[in-house]
Structure 1
Amino acid sequence: MHRKAWYQKPINICCLVTAVWLSQTPAEFCAAAEGSVAGITIRNTQQQELRLPHRTEPDIKRPEEYRPPLQADTGAKLIVKGFYFSGQSIFSQAELLNVIADQQGQELGLSDLQNLAGQLTDYIRSQGYLVAQTYIPEQKVQDGIIEFAIIIGEYDQVLIRNNTEVSLAVLQNQLGPLKSGGYIKKCELERAVYLLGDVAGVDAKATLMPGRRTGTTDLLLDIRPRGKQLSGNFEINNYGSRFTGSNQVGLNITFNNPLQKGDVIAVRAIKSESGLDSGNIGYSLPLTGQGQKLGISFSRLNYELGEAFADINAHGQSDSFELSYETNFLRSRNNNLSGRLSYSRKKLRDVVDGIPDTNKKENIWSLNLTGDNTDRWLGGGANAYALSYSRGKLSTDDAGDAYTANTAGSFAKWNLTFLRQQYLGERLSLLTAFNGQLAEKNLDPGEKLSLGGAYGVRAYPAGEASGDQGYVLNTELRWHLPVNTRLFDSCQLAGFYDTGYVRLNKESWPGFTGENSRRLSGAGLGIYLNKANQYALRLSYAWKIGSEEALAASDKNGRFWIMGSSYF
């Protein structure tokens, strides 16, 4: 069949550029309908792994327990008919009586009563009152009723010893309900210590000391510098796209506390061997609320397609702006949950010689929930998860979009990411990761989900199989070798299996032909080496399972991935 030359079909050329980038078959590329290569490139550079947090215990030092004078144990016993609890108004008499109810009517001596006081102390502390104590006051027993006095524990003075350049007001904002006269609750104190530690460049230690009055406790928060004010890492990898250069270098720089407000300036830059230059600068600032932050960021990306598209000078640019608000709902040693609301505005332009430029604008609101927790299920494990809902509006001057995918206008999508590390032994663990997306309509290529690449089905290249909705599932068995040498202090051997499915277009349209879905699978081996705070190296090799061909790059039975990072 006779085909027109590319310069006679300007609209389809833009389809072709996008289609190759999206790794779709010739029959599928019309479904892409003039997608934004700039948008896809942004998506690829922003792909990152969801990471399990490093667990640390809150640094809290408790005071010595108050021990009131007791009468000497003469060995005498009496039949106890009941108990009375004084000194507090939090727990009802019935609730406390239920803890030691089986001792009513028993013949008890002083040592037995002291053991009961210990049981009551343990119960009250298990309800979150960190320094609560029960003791037996001097008393005259009447009608066989024994009195237990309870000290719940209240703050007297809450003091901050600030040894950093962060302003005192920023630190005080993280304390929340910790104030003079308040009860000493374990969850509230731990939350405050963790949130203080979340302030850029800050480490916090809490010391509880006897207060000026019986039953009260002073809290001293010792704030010390943590890490360097200027830090970052330099990275090299082959995670990029074939058409803009698979080999990439990256630089991340973090500048803590530039305005002495616990604020952070973060800079990220990526450059490929040919065709890609990307930069982002962001600023975040703690707000007056406990664990709240305001963020703003700007980014620019320039790309130029090589290989098959070099002759038509396919290139483009994107600029984006984002404003965000973040807050912590839960902050503790075993459970954390934060929320983030953001607004972003993007301007994208794709250029091909001989045809009009394609210009797009996106306005997107996103709501994100991110959390992690630990558990004891089947020997214990750790989880990290993220759920997001994004709703936006796309405007474009691409006339062909209305007759094909019709991506312009309002759109929405859901994203879910889940990661679990299951402990199988002292040195063996199983990691399972899930990344899924659901869309309400056909999406612009920059909003699609890709299966291939270093964070997806690793047997396929970056950008392979992009669709409006689908999922990627990774399972990885890791063996932690007992290595501690001059070069590395951590070494993990891994065997993994990846699989994924995408629906290329949520809805087809008249004239659409070809398959509308793809399923990819692969397996492989990896080795991950690390020297704490100095450098890291990740190597993996993956091979395909099944007959599905790679389209985003030359088809191979196996694919090698490497990433090296040096910290400063």
Structure 2
Amino acid sequence: MPQHKSKYSRLIKTCALILIILFTNTNLTLAAPTWTDIEEQNRKARQEEQERRQRERGQDVFLQKEKQGAEVAKLPDETPSFTINTIMIQGDESGQFPWVHDLVNKYLGQKIGWQGINIIVKTLTNACIDRGFITTQVLIPEQNLSTGVLRLQLVPGMIKDIKLADPKLRANWQSAFPARPGDILNLRDLEQGLEQMKRVPSQDAEMQLVPGDNPGESIVLITVKQTKPWKLVLSLDDSGSEATGKLQASETFSLDNLFGINDLFNISYNSDAERHGYKLGTRGNSFYYSVPHGYWTYTLSGYEYKYHQTVESDATSFVSSGRSNNLELKAEKLIYRDQTQKTSVSFGVTKARSKSFIDDTEIEIQRRETTAAELAFIHKKYNGQTVIEYTAAYKRGVPWFGAQEDPAANADDQPTTHYNIWTLDTRLSTPVTLGKTKARYSAILSGQYTKDMLYASEFMSIGNRYTVRGFDGEETLSAENGWFLRNELSVPLRNAALEFYLGLDIGQVSGASVDQSIGRTLAGSTFGLRGNLEGAQYDMYIGKPIKKPAGMQTSVPILGFQVLCQI
């Protein structure tokens, strides 16, 4: 009998708590962050930071450092010379070079002699080289210029073969290189192929061109160096919250070339490191798989995350918990590259689910099952040692793959799952000199804008180690719109294995739900050390707020760390 009474009392308590949540302020409940939303905001900020670091680790390949220059030069006055009204570009593959006609047409109607012809040939040759056709030639056949017609022969350089220097290696160039034997040789195709092979952490690739049997033919010879294809990375940091576990541990197992096609695979497990048991804690696992195909890269990733915490008061106590999972499929294509820059577009679809519970009873009003599609534009440019990268994206909530009906379809004052969100992420890194000391300045400007009212899981959140530093992350500011700017000056000590850094960050949130936040603006500073020590990477820092709302609670100063060890 007492056992039944206990179950009955627990049921009454749970129902009462849910009723309070439902009827205290329904609209506020829908838009205000739940613990599941807060954990999701932190996870999303962590993922975005990891994606930035992954792009930074990528090895961009630019084999051609400077442009030759293909400006239309003024032709000299010479004798003999002839007025040229037609310039013919001959060759079976001349149709593959349509821009050549635009260049030569600028010389029409001019008097041209042999010096002028050589200038035109040099201009066309430089134009070919600048566009990556480094083995293509422009020749001058025998002709009579008195007819007013100048004929030029375009002989494209061809790829005779692409092969590995060591054919016994488990390496695959076919999935990496967009070029094939028999194609016109373009250095951009070869740079792309090397990048796709170098993206594999345990693999490096170099290339050389070997003359073929026939004039204009080249053999692309690829030298590949490989190390151990797998690794285990153990990580410990204090990025969690006091409510669900401050110390967070993760184990990530990575396997390169899983199917031998320059593909990447990893699985990860993370949890609260102190293992508080039923009282509080987090659990999560994720996977990542990526495979290249020439100018395309396809990625499939997913995660599952769970948390629980005990909420205690004088009257009662209960366990608040939540779980969420996410599956994303993305395709990215490089659409342009030259000697110093490259541009890509990507399209991805994400399916997400989340649920919240009180004492194992679901709060159904907080259940989310959504689908979003995102189109992104990525541009990266090098200017010497300065690198700047832009990522502009449009994200749209869509009714695909079983997504729940949009509550805002029948009510204007409800958050919508069919939102329109615009985001911009800009990253700058450049060397600076402080007296005789070499340093590096880096900046990240990230922002989000929408006209819609959003659920809190889609809010822009600031006030943690991934956005505005100087705060402990226990309490953040979040709303539909927002931005943050991170500034960092890093100085190497003795060698590149150790550096200290200074950070100064600022951010702001706004939007339809900003009145539910205790403030709008944050600014903070940080000072830290990071480096490598016997195979372990570490990052230790101290920070403090510079500007925050009066009611916002945070530790002063804040201390943080992260340690990674690779096996």
Q: TM-score range by the shorter chain?
A: 0.7 to 0.9
1:499 aligns with 2:520: no
Task: Report the alpha carbon displacement of residue 305 of structure 1 after superposing the two structures with TM.
Answer: 4.0
Cα 1:327–1:94 change in 2 (3 A) is: closer
CA–CA distance in structure 2, aligned partners of residues 528 and 390 of structure 1: 40
Q: Decide which of 171, 174, 186 is 1:172's aligned counterpart.
A: 174
In 1, Cα distance between the equivalents of 2:315 and 2:222? 61
Instruction: Report the Cα distance in structure 2 between the residues aligned to 1:334 and 1:199, rounded to whole angstroms.
Output: 21
**Map of 2:228 onto structure 1:** 228
Report the equivalent of 1:58: 61
* CA separation of 1:38 and 1:8: change in aligned 2, threshold 3 A: closer
Q: Deviations over 1:263-287 (max 9, x none)?
A: 4332222222343332223252537
Give matches, 1:344-359, under 5 Å. 344-352=351-359, 357-358=363-364
User: 3-state DSSP class of the match of 1:322?
Assistant: strand
Preserved CA contact (<8 Å) 1:369 1:388 = yes
In the alignment, what sits opposite 1:301? 306
SS at match of 2:542: strand
Cα separation, partners in 2 of 1:477 and 1:256, compared to 1, 3 Å = closer
- Aligned partners of 1:542 and 1:28: how far apart in 2? 38
134, 137, 142: which is aligned to 1:133?
137
Residue deviations 1:509-566, cap 9 Å, x none?
xxxxx76662232231322422399333323333223461354xx4444323322222
Q: Which residue of 2 aligns with 1:104?
A: 112
Identity of aligned residues (%): 12
Q: Secondary structure at the match of 2:192?
A: helix
Separation (CA, whole Å) in 2 of partners of 1:81 and 1:54: 57
Provide the rounded CA distance (Å) in 1 between the counterparts of 2:533 and 2:101.
53
Deviations 1:80-100 (A, max 9, x none): 547877764346578348589
Distance verdict in 2 for CA 1:55–1:97, change over 3 Å: farther
Contact 1:235 1:249 in 2 (8 A): yes
Residue aligned with 1:245, SS:
coil
Q: 1:356 to 1:124 in 2, by over 3 A?
A: closer
* 1:281 maps to which of 253, 271, 286: 286
Could you give the per-residue CA deviations for residues 322-358 of structure 1, whole angstroms, max 9, x where no partner exists?
14132323374622424132231414232248x7654
1:322 aligns with 2:327: yes
- Equivalent in the alignment of 1:204: 205
Query: Contact 1:15 / 1:30 at 8 angstroms: preserved in 2?
Result: no
Taking the aligned partners of 2:150 and 2:129, their CA distance within structure 1 comes to 22
Task: Give the TM-score of the pair, scaled to structure 2.
Answer: 0.74
Kept after mapping to 1: 8 A contact 2:300/2:328: yes
Which residue pairs with 1:527 in the alignment?
Answer: 528
- Where 1:41 maps in the other structure, the secondary structure is helix
CA distance in 2, matches of 1:415, 1:560: 33
The aligned counterpart of 1:123 is: 127
Tell me by how many angstroms 1:425 deviates: 2.5
Unaligned runs of 5+ in 1: 20-26, 62-76, 507-513
Distance 1:301 1:462 in 2: 19
What is the deviation of 1:491?
A: 0.9
Match of 1:241 in 2: 241
- Indicate conservation of the 8 Å contact 2:14/2:359, yes or no: no
* Structure 2 alignment gaps of length 5 or more: 1-11, 65-77
Query: Any conservation in 2 of the 1:14–1:35 contact (CA below 8 Å)?
Result: no
Comparing 413-422 with 209-218, greater Cα deviation is found at 413-422
Contact 1:99–1:119, Cα closer than 8 Å, also in 2: no
> Quick one: distance in 2 between partners of 1:185 and 1:528?
44
Task: Normalising by structure 1, report the TM-score.
Answer: 0.74
Which residue number corresponds to residue 560 of structure 1? Answer: 559
Q: C-alpha offsets along residues 345-397 of structure 1, whole Å, 9 cap, x if unaligned? A: 414232248x76546241212314262412449x944224252404157759x
- Mapping for residues 92-491 of structure 1, pairs under 5 Å: 95-96=103-104, 104=112, 118-134=122-138, 150-160=154-164, 162-165=167-170, 168=172, 171-176=173-178, 178-198=179-199, 201-225=202-226, 227-272=227-272, 273=274, 274=276, 275-284=280-289, 286=291, 290-305=295-310, 312-330=317-335, 332=337, 334-352=341-359, 357-358=363-364, 360-369=367-376, 371-376=378-383, 380-391=386-397, 406-407=414-415, 410-423=417-430, 425-426=432-433, 427-439=438-450, 441-462=452-473, 464-481=475-492, 483-484=494-495, 489-491=497-499
Mapped to 2, the partners of 1:424 and 1:200 lie a distance apart of 26
Shift of 1:477: 3.7
CA distance in 1, matches of 2:315, 2:246: 16
Q: 1:385 to 1:503 in 2, by over 3 A?
A: same
1:476-513: per-residue Cα shift (whole Å, max 9, x none)?
A: 141423521xxx6241422313222244727xxxxxxx
Change beyond 3 A, Cα 1:567–1:404: farther
- What's the Cα RMSD here? 4.5
- Count how many residue pairs are aligned between Structure 1 and Structure 2: 512
The answer to whether the 8 Å contact 1:360/1:395 transfers is: no
Label 1:6 to 1:265 Cα distance change in 2 as closer, same or farther (>3 A).
Answer: same
Take 1:462 and 1:202, find their aligned partners in 2: how far apart are those partners? Answer: 38
Corresponding position of 1:72: none
Contact 2:58/2:199 (<8 A) preserved: no
Q: Distance in 2 between matches of 1:103 and 1:163?
A: 59
Does the residue aligned with 1:10 lie in a helix, a strand or coil? Answer: helix
